Every structure is written in structure tokens, then in C-alpha cells.
Amino acid sequence: MPQSETYYCSFCLRPSHEVDKLVAGHGRIFICEECVATCNDYMLTGTSERPARAPLEEAPTERLLSLLKPIEETVEGKSNQLQSVVETLRSRRVSWAHIGQALGISRQAAWERFS
């Protein structure tokens, strides 16, 4: 992955320059090799012995400020992915009622949100 832009792991929020590998997923979602290892540990054993990260309350203010944009990009990426799935469903003539039901919202709310 070219390093002209800084990417962040969507799970631990570490920037690409602090990790060895960063895998890109749909909608600007990324995962670093350490988070993949944690997932693998959990999938194999049901637990993970990797140390937990320090709570956000203990992070320096500048670090928290630096996390705002990557978190927003992750949210935006997931929103774009959701919009694409809804558009695909609508192209298959799936009703707004079914889409709303799947999202736990009304037909009207689904239509307003995704039209």
C-alpha cells in the first residue's frame, strides 16, 4: 500500500506507519497484522492472550484528536457500503418494507435515509 496517505487500523486505530502490514477491506476499513493475530487467537482458542490496549481515557489529548478523522472515515466507508447494498437490493426490487425491517427501522425511514 503506498504511503502517500496515512491509513489506520479500524480496530486498534494505529496508523499505517506504526504497523508492519495493514489489510484494506471494503469501505476504507483496514485491519493490521496484530489485530488479525488477535482474531486468529480467539478463533482457535476462544480467548486471546494479547494484552489489552490502554483505555481511551488514558490516551493523550493529541492522540485522541488524531483519531477523529480515521474514525470518521471508517464510519463514512461503512455508510457507503450500506448505501451500495441497499441500492443493490432495490435494483432487485426488494421493497422498502423489507429493507426497513432488516435494519430495524420503518419502511418510510429506510426510504428517507437511502433515497
CA dist 57 and 44 (Å) reads: 31
- Residue 84 belongs to what H/E stretch? helix 61-91
The verdict on whether residue 39 carries a ligand-binding annotation is no
CA dist 82 and 99 (Å) reads: 11
The verdict on whether residue 32 carries a ligand-binding annotation is yes
Detail the residues annotated as belonging to a binding site.
9, 12, 32, 35
Binding positions for Zn(2+): 9, 12, 32, 35
